[in-house]
Amino acid sequence: MPARTTANQISFRYRSVDSATGITRETAKRLAEYLGVDETQAIHRALHELAVRVLPQYEADDGPLTAAQVRQIRKRVPQGAKRSVRSGLFSTETA
């Protein structure tokens, strides 16, 4: 495990009351106890859940296809032919 330095740490201040923008130390302790972890780990887990929910979980692509790319796809894939599904993943028979 890398040595701790002050360069990769931040100051964290609990709120005096629970609100939409923060929690009290008491709430953090209760949450940590419920999760079976220490307060620091509870904070890390909360931040991880927020990151997964808010930040994209994939690399950004190059944006929409260009007209040339669409033409290449249409050239390679037969157009106008009707297609139908002859089988599926789920059985439609009843037991």
Question: Which tens digits make up the pLDDT trace of 8-32?
Answer: 888 999 999 999 999 999 999 999 9
Cα separation, 66 vs 64, in Å, equals 6
Question: Which tens digits make up the pLDDT trace of 43-62?
Answer: 999 999 999 999 988 887 88
Whole-number pLDDT of residue 77: 82
Question: Which tens digits make up the pLDDT trace of 31-44?
Answer: 999 999 999 999 99
The pTM assigned to this predicted structure is 0.55
Q: Angle, nearest 10°, between helix axes 39-54 and 25-35?
A: 90
Cα separation, 32 vs 37, in Å, equals 5
Whole-number pLDDT of residue 57: 81
Whole-number pLDDT of residue 62: 83
